[in-house]
Each structure stands twice: as structure tokens, then as C-alpha cells.
Amino acid sequence: MAQATLPNFERIVFERLKTSEEFTSYESAFRLATGLPLRFMRMDEQWCLTEHSENQSPFCEIINKCKTACQQCLETNRKLLETVEVQGPMTCGCFSGLCATAVPVRLGSTTLGFLKTGQVFRQQPGEEDFERVVNQLIENGFDPEKKELLHQAYFQTQTIDPKRYDSMILLLETFADQLSRHADNLVIILDGSEPEAIAKARRLIHAKLDEPISLSELATAAGLSESHFCRTFKEVTKLTVTDYTTRARIAAARKELLRPAARVSDIAFQVGFQSLSQFNRSFSKLVGCSPTKFREAELEKARIQA
């Protein structure tokens, strides 16, 4: 893919998300409930089907064993992910008539990866469709002797009604939002191996989100000199004290914004920002949209699902 390599810190968050109970539980439930495959890919990872996975299309597996024949598939997925990174969730069709869907998972304004599904028909294919596809594949290097095997796999691939498929993707979008929020929490909540000095400082930050906290106050709570505290805090959290505090305040604000009656300006001061403009800038930088737009989108999703 053309995207730049994901920075090391974001890669760490991605790997923690992928192995988290939140993701593994949902992955299993989604596959069981929908019959669809599901992959969680990094944004700098090339799409490839080198191994069998649950609900994966047998047709896709066969053509991806032929490096020449699968180039069109790789190109379709590359363009899909590049578009989704900018425009959000999207479904597209490939040359064979199957659909592919990608939903971004973000950490602030950074795209960590994509929830990827599809490999199904949204309209039952016929023999004419298969002949067109297989002839195109043979032209691109597919072994003609495997035509019968490909025919069997092509018609074994499931067909899903478009409206039902769209409902499945809505579930995926909701889960992507949950994973994005969990990514924020992973930045804030570290495992039990962190030094107790840093744990004390973090607890103080969260206890006083609505108050300005000085560096000396945090260092004192940690029992370290200011210089030692700053250095250790960044080594452990991968963030400066200022960046960590901002992320914690934005995470708290996102929860408060789900209350329709709460004013945005009140929330800004409630979570510790000194001005509404400062809150709006910080929120947009980390979340990728304004607090108002975030609230509107979340409330609309809740209305649709109700």
C-alpha cells in the first residue's frame, strides 16, 4: 500500500487492540452471527490471503494462490483502503463480482487499521458471470486445468441480500467506534508492570482532570525529581505529561458528549480545558472532528440502532 509506515507507538496500540478480549470476543461473535469473514489489518499492511480463515471465500483463496491472477484483487483492496482512510467506511465490488468492505479504526486522527470483511456476492451470479471471470483470470495467468475447481468454489461463495449485508456492516461500524475508544483507553491504561510512581501520577491526573496540575505536584506524588519524573513518565506511557493529560480529558469528554442535554462549553470546562476554543482544537486533532459533529454522529447511530 502507498500509506506511510505506522509509527512504532501506534503499532504497539494496534497489536494490543488485536489481542484484546474486546476484539477477539467480537470477532468470534461477528463471524458466527453473520457468516462473514473478519480481519483486523494495520493501515500499512498489504492485503493478502495466504492462509485459510473462518468464513473466507474458497474462490478468493484459490485465486490468491496465483500471484499473477490475484493482482487485480490486491489492487482493488489497495484502492479501497486508501479511500476508506480518508472518507470512512466503504464497500466496493471486485472484478469477479464479490464485494469488499473496510471500516477504519482510529486513534485520534491517526488510522491504526481497518476491520475488513466481504468476499460475498450481493446478487446471485450465473454461468455467464463465471465464464467472464475465469477467462479474465486465465488471461492473467491462472491455470486453465483448475477451471472446474474454481467453478465449484465460485458457486460455493455465499450470496447475501444487500439490505441484510448493510445491516451487518452497520454492526461493524459500531464495533470500530468501540475499538477506537478502547485504543484511547489503552494509551491511558497501562498494564501492571508500570512503576508505582507513574501509577500514582496517573491516578492524580484522572482524579483532578478539571483542575490545572503542576509538574511539581505530579513529581511530588510520584516521589521523583521533576526531570526524573518527566523522563520516566514518557518512557512508560510513550507520551509527555501534557499529551497524556490532554488524551485523558478528551476521553472523558467523549463520554460526556453522549448526554444530549449537556452543553459543549460546560463539558469543555468540566474536563479541565481553560477555553472552548482550546477544547475544540484538541478534540478535533485527536478525534478527527469537532465535538458537535462527534455528538451528532454518535446520537444518530444510537437512533438508528434503537
Q: Return d(Cα 281, Cα 290) in angstroms, integer.
A: 8
pLDDT at 255: 83
Per-residue pLDDT, 12? 80
Across the beta sheet with 39-42, the strand order is 39-42, 110-120, 99-107, 90-93
Residue 1 is predicted with a pLDDT of: 39
pLDDT at 169: 94
How many CB atoms within 10 Å of residue 39? 17
Q: Domains of the chain (ranges plus CATH)?
A: 8-185 (no CATH), 191-305 (1.10.10.60)
Q: State the Cα–Cα distance between residues 245 and 151, nearest whole angstrom.
A: 57
Q: What is the pLDDT of residue 121?
A: 94
In tens digits, the chain (306 residues) has pLDDT values of 334 566 666 788 888 889 888 898 899 999 999 999 999 988 777 666 555 578 888 888 887 765 555 666 777 777 888 888 878 899 998 888 999 999 999 877 678 899 999 999 999 999 999 999 999 888 878 888 889 999 999 999 999 999 999 999 999 999 998 888 888 777 665 445 568 888 889 889 988 888 889 999 999 999 999 999 999 998 887 789 999 899 889 988 988 898 888 999 999 999 999 999 999 999 998 888 899 998 888 877 766 655
CA distance 257 to 267: 7
Q: What is the pLDDT of residue 229?
A: 93
Cell numbers standing for residue 95: 472484478
- What is the structure's pLDDT at 47? 62
pLDDT of residue 220: 94
- How far is the C-alpha of 33 from the C-alpha of 47, rounded, in Å? 24
pTM, two decimal places: 0.65
Burial class, 215, CB count within 10 angstroms (exposed 0-12 / middle 13-18 / buried 19+): middle
The 8-class DSSP code of residue 194 comes to S
pLDDT of the residue at 67:
55
